[in-house]
Amino acid sequence: MFNFDDANRKSKEAVDTALRTYTDTARGFQAIAAEAAEYSKKSFQDAVTHFETLAGAKSFEAVFELQTSYVKSSYESFVSEATKLGEMYADLAKSAYKPYEAPIAAAVAKTGRQAPQATPAAA
């Protein structure tokens, strides 16, 4: 027999989980946006400072050395920031999926089927 109280409770749990997930996801995207904005601001400031330094250079060799140093540090900074943002996105995806792991596993177990396994791509 269908139990309305049980269905109502499960429905409320599902809505609460969804709202919590949406809130956490929004916070994660806000943190990522703040990090990207901060990096952009710092990168722009570094570029302005670099061009001011270049303007005061007295020889071609000095310009070449300054430019080489700037490109190297900019690249390292970019790689570091890209790695950090990638980790933030991965953490966000994991946290968004976390509330649904148990219900999905329970549903799969209830049906008696196994969850599909990832297969390695053919090379």
Alpha carbon distances (Å) from 14 to 8, 11, 23, 35, 47: 10, 5, 14, 31, 49
Low-confidence winner among 24-28, 84-88, 109-113 (lowest mean pLDDT): 109-113
Predicted local distance difference test score (pLDDT) of residue 123: 45
More confident residue, 21 or 120: 21
Predicted local distance difference test score (pLDDT) of residue 21: 87
Predicted local distance difference test score (pLDDT) of residue 116: 58
**pLDDT-derived band of residue 78, with 50, 70 and 90 as boundaries?**
very high
Would you kindly state where each structural domain of the chain is located, as residue ranges?
10-91
Q: What is the mean pLDDT of residues 28-49?
A: 96
CA dihedral 17, 21, 27, 32 (to 10 degrees): 170
CB atoms within 10 A of CB 90: 10
